[in-house]
Structure 1
């Protein structure tokens, strides 16, 4: 595809665009670190606070209540005050929540802190990819937005490492306190970055939008891209929640909501939150050993996400989704079989091996497909005037499904058995695979305005065809 007027070849890109994307993606570190740190910390929190299995689920899932609230408020916030200021505000709330958790003497104060942290990551989880998608050139947008997912996996891996280093002392407060470091870096970094050019144009600030585009495109002439953005704005009125009911939004909304819910119902965050617990189910009874095994899963998560960042603008979104979900289904089926046969293997060592290999394959499959591509697609398929609100709706659905899965995992494992719960997630994975096959579009190489025009014309998502990557 020939670049739009004003959108330069790759050689014209400035270092600034990479710096801007990397700084914004630190929001992914917040998301990932808090997602992962609870998995090791909960082993010690349960003992100190005397938590029952139900209260353990509440302590783990409380952050998701905040995330749902943050996702609800974040759409309006992102459209009104902008993507940049929303990320700064989320980072400040994250710091406040971390303070509450670190000083908590009992479960109530701990839960308040976790809800505040959840609000912060609920906002950051979709505003960060939204910001990146609106400053990235179309040919590199997939990889740049997926960098946020890579930083999420790095945050998870760092949290596992911190959990392991502090497991001997059981200092779970220090585990949480370390999360303040990326939050401070993000606040400082975002203060130094400009606003999204597309948001600036929607707020009738063309001069500022042009200045930002010149910095990130590496060329003086950005008139063509500004014209395309303005044309998109001109055919729309100011966005409102009722606009999400417009016929042209229905199919993108269905795609976003479907991926949001299915991503979580395949059980990914039960693995992230409860990985040490799962390894203890499989016979690794010491906290240190189970956290160390979990760190191995974290390394695989990072490496697979690196592969996704490289491939998403080459192979496309749909192939990565279909291959990744297929791998998740197989891995979950094998993991369930391992637990079903757990009572018959010698010494439990084979069960531990099956668990480790299956979890690594499962996480790797998620990391090349549903992990990064979901967040990328919801940053691409919605029109500018309701992009923040539509991403908010998809994110609320995602965090709500996350909450339900996290809150019920231990209960389901008790009712269905450890094998049954993973087989249930595998069945959901099969549904997800056919959903992608029938409904998810290919957006590779297309500008946001081209994608928007396709849906405004009332065409089916599968009729949207990506283009070969050119520079």
Structure 2
């Protein structure tokens, strides 16, 4: 692909469909490096915190602040990047995110005290919030509808790969002098790779079309569609964009857009309120409190990360065949059951090896059910249910909900455990999950194999059935 925003005609040679599949897969993989960095930079703190805490003499409250500073940055990143991605394009936004990832990672590695570390993690959060919006939007807009679910979900797969790699790195540097600095600083390597890759990408065809560059949009679409499919998609986008070209944030709360906005918020809220990031950020700490040694706690987390990654990969193969609804609803129900089980295990805990093994198995069941359901859904559903011209702004509601609740949970996990006990914490998350799955059962449409414009129309009560 061209290294600037100007789109060059496709080169002659390979059959269009073959060349198109390779082009869209390559572009999606480059963009999804943002997902990898998202996963790595959120996951690595769980291992690093075991070493940062004694070095900087952190209380439980300051541990939570150190973790949560990244989430505060992510909230700001989402609030800013919604308008930015619509104004300057998905490609430029991805490039900016890669640069901020690099600065943040190096700042964390060099931090002389916790204040600087907190500031550097806030910078990383800006990049994560930006990437969490721009990556799925970009992939959704370059992907043909028959493979859109799989390609958008590549972002979530890369998030889980990043988390798993962060646990590997944490285990590798667990005994090293100042090992936590290596853990945090190594995040700069994939961010530099992403920066180089994004320089080779073209802009999203949908963004080009809604910004008055139809010839370039047509050229990009013809790389991944037949000429007839490209023209049909262009007509669909133009029709909808003409109706929604002046959408502002206030317009998103009007009746026509409200169902999609509420659905995006509920998916994001359920994703967080079942407590996944309490596990991602604090699993080693919670396991250590349950009697595990430091290395054993990190090694157990490595198993949890592996389950997360493998189940996400399996879901990636199924999402465009099975559909979104069965994966999301079935997986969330199992998440609720796993939370009830985990609460019961902590209630009757005796610290014996058999009990410790059941605890790790319960966490693996929880994350294994979460990965192909709520793990995929937050990014996939929020990239599919909004019209093209409003997607950057509208999806920011779900993203702000995600990061706002993530911030609140990360800032309160340890103190909530002190107040409610681990049993109370897990059962509280189970209650939230039950409420979420009830709402989604009634309101979530099936989006498999449907154009983005068709999905948007169905949520407004127009066009064909939502497919519930």
TM-score by length of 1: 0.93
Gaps of 5+ in 1: 1-7, 467-471
Structure 2 equivalent of residue 208 of structure 1: 216
The residue correspondences of 1:252-271 to structure 2 (distance < 5 A) are 252-271=260-279
TM-score by length of 2: 0.94
Structure 1 equivalent of residue 231 of structure 2: 223
Stretch moving more, 70-79 or 384-393: 384-393
The CA distance in 1 between the partners of 2:230 and 2:416, in whole Å, is 55
Aligned with 1:222: secondary structure?
helix
The CA distance in 2 between the partners of 1:51 and 1:456, in whole Å, is 50
The CA distance in 2 between the partners of 1:10 and 1:411, in whole Å, is 55
CA contact (8 A) 2:259 2:460 kept: no
Gaps of 5+ in 2: 1-14
CA contact (8 A) 2:37 2:187 kept: yes
How far the C-alpha of 1:128 sits from its partner, in A, is: 0.2
The CA distance in 2 between the partners of 1:420 and 1:456, in whole Å, is 40
Residues 50-106 of structure 1 deviation map (CA, whole Å, 9 limit, x = unaligned): 000000110111100000000100101110011111111111111111122111111
Residue 282 (structure 2) pairs with residue 277 (structure 1): no
CA contact (8 A) 1:29 1:153 kept: yes
Structure 2 equivalent of residue 49 of structure 1: 56
Structure 2 equivalent of residue 372 of structure 1: 376
How far the C-alpha of 1:350 sits from its partner, in A, is: 2.3
Structure 1 equivalent of residue 366 of structure 2: 362
Structure 2 equivalent of residue 171 of structure 1: 179
CA contact (8 A) 1:283 1:349 kept: no
Aligned with 2:320: secondary structure?
coil
Aligned with 1:283: secondary structure?
coil
Structure 1 equivalent of residue 24 of structure 2: 17
How far the C-alpha of 1:220 sits from its partner, in A, is: 8.1
CA contact (8 A) 2:78 2:400 kept: yes
Residue 410 (structure 2) pairs with residue 403 (structure 1): no
CA contact (8 A) 1:12 1:218 kept: no
Structure 2 equivalent of residue 139 of structure 1: 146
Structure 2 equivalent of residue 433 of structure 1: 437
The CA distance in 1 between the partners of 2:260 and 2:289, in whole Å, is 40
How far the C-alpha of 1:231 sits from its partner, in A, is: 1.3
How far the C-alpha of 1:295 sits from its partner, in A, is: 0.4
The alignment's C-alpha RMSD in Å is 1.8
CA contact (8 A) 1:339 1:351 kept: no
Structure 1 equivalent of residue 322 of structure 2: 315
Aligned with 2:146: secondary structure?
helix
Residues 152-203 of structure 1 deviation map (CA, whole Å, 9 limit, x = unaligned): 0000000000000000115101001111111111111111011111111010
CA 340–272 in structure 1, closer or farther in 2 if over 3 Å, else same: same
The residue correspondences of 1:112-127 to structure 2 (distance < 5 A) are 112-127=119-134
Structure 1 equivalent of residue 252 of structure 2: 244
How far the C-alpha of 1:457 sits from its partner, in A, is: 4.2
The CA distance in 1 between the partners of 2:360 and 2:461, in whole Å, is 48
The residue correspondences of 1:310-349 to structure 2 (distance < 5 A) are 310-343=317-350, 347-349=351-353
CA contact (8 A) 2:138 2:204 kept: yes
CA 435–415 in structure 1, closer or farther in 2 if over 3 Å, else same: same
Residues 387-423 of structure 1 deviation map (CA, whole Å, 9 limit, x = unaligned): 1011112101110000111111101110111111111
CA contact (8 A) 1:13 1:218 kept: no
CA contact (8 A) 2:253 2:261 kept: no
The CA distance in 2 between the partners of 1:326 and 1:385, in whole Å, is 34
How far the C-alpha of 1:351 sits from its partner, in A, is: 2.3
The CA distance in 2 between the partners of 1:98 and 1:217, in whole Å, is 39
Residue 188 (structure 2) pairs with residue 184 (structure 1): no
The CA distance in 1 between the partners of 2:179 and 2:458, in whole Å, is 53
CA 197–130 in structure 1, closer or farther in 2 if over 3 Å, else same: same
CA 339–459 in structure 1, closer or farther in 2 if over 3 Å, else same: farther
